[in-house]
Amino acid sequence: MTGVITGFAIILAVIAVGAILARTGVIKEDRERLVLNRVAFYAASPALLFTSVANSDAQTLFSPVIVVIFFATLATAAVYILASALFFRQDIPTTTMGAASACYFNSVNIGLPVSVYVLGEATYVVPVLVLQMVVFTPFILAGLVADDAGGRSRLARIWEPVRTAVFSPVVIGSVLGLVVALVGLQIPDPVMRPLEILGGASIPMILISFGASLRNTAPLATPEDRPGTITATALKLVGMPAIAWGIALALGLEGNELYASVILAALPAAQNVYNFAASYQRGMIIARDTVFLTTFGSLPVMLVIALLFGR
């Protein structure tokens, strides 16, 4: 479990840097903090996603594990949406961020160490990254702007969020990377190296902004967002791994594929969820609090899973 601990240590250290910068006045206002999110969303994250997906082996993009994660993601999101509709009504963007926080997990800076050091290879996490960015991200971004259509027609209210999501930088970067991987193109170093350097700035900027956002409030401090945050956190830490376990067993998976399905589903909510919320200024509190709580809570959950599997 050294890789898991290292991944968590990296994340928490950079978050702490952001909190210190905010406390000492280096980052003074939310406007200054959100510049980091916007640069990450429009430049660094697309570069990171393009290079990560483009450098992957196209043959590893399809496995039974990705099928489990796909259906576990849909099921977990559906449970959150149902809970929201029955027990704590939220607007569409906030519901979207709660559902995303419950099922959209950190497949990069924790997922990669987990895949390499815990599962023994990176082939399981790369397809998940592609699935999240190419398939699920457009729906998340569409939900964030779903109530911004004003008095326009129903067709406009449907089309505008979809168009905004499909043509967002992070989706375009992911799709272009997928095309490169599937076609087998070799991108020249003078093009790829600058993109890799730019992409390397994505996660630190998001984490620093996240840490700075903790300056003025503590997790679960906002009463109206508390039920959604607790529900999303419980689903991410317990619900999604349990759902993934059940789906994997139903599909006949066993051994390393079964273990990979469950351990990946137990990863914490992704910082990208918070970055989407911060970039669009919708559902930020529930995204921030769920990312924070699951980042701390998922480590013991994964240790328990490892023990249950005898790893």
pLDDT digits (tens, 9 = 90+) for 209-234: 878 877 766 778 788 889 999 999 99
Q: Of 57, 18, 9, whose CA–CA distance to 205 is shortest?
A: 18
pLDDT of residue 249: 96
Q: Are 38 and 281 in contact (CB under 8 A)?
A: no
pLDDT of amino acid 46 = 86
DSSP codes of every residue in 145-185: TTT--TT--HHHHHHHHHHHHHTSHHHHHHHHHHHHHHHT-
d(CA 31, CA 236): 30
- 309, two tokens: 């599997």
pLDDT in tens, the chain (311 residues): 565 677 677 878 888 999 899 989 899 887 888 888 889 888 988 888 788 778 876 666 677 889 999 999 999 999 999 999 999 888 889 999 999 999 999 876 566 556 655 665 556 777 787 788 778 888 888 888 777 655 555 555 556 656 766 777 877 887 888 889 888 888 999 999 999 999 888 888 888 887 887 776 677 878 888 999 999 999 999 999 999 999 999 999 998 889 989 989 998 898 888 888 888 888 889 998 998 899 888 888 988 888 888 87
| 50's tokens | 């393009």
Q: Quote the strand ranges of 1-147, DSSP E.
A: none
How far apart are the C-alpha atoms of 310 and 304, rounded to whole Å? 10
Give the model confidence (pLDDT) of 177-208 as tens digits. Answer: 888 988 888 899 999 999 999 988 888 888 88
The predicted structure's pLDDT at residue 146:
72
Tokens of 159: 């089309």
Tell me how far apart the alpha carbons of residues 92 and 74 are, in angstroms, rounded to a whole number: 17
pLDDT of amino acid 75: 97
By three-state DSSP, how is residue 44 classified? Answer: helix
Residue type, 255: G
All domains of the chain in start order, with CATH: 2-308 (1.20.1530.20)
Q: What is the pLDDT of residue 111?
A: 66
Neighbouring C-beta atoms of residue 306, cutoff 10 Å: 17
- The token duo for 258 is 């079964």
Q: What is the largest CA-CA distance in the chain?
A: 57
pLDDT for the residue 241: 96
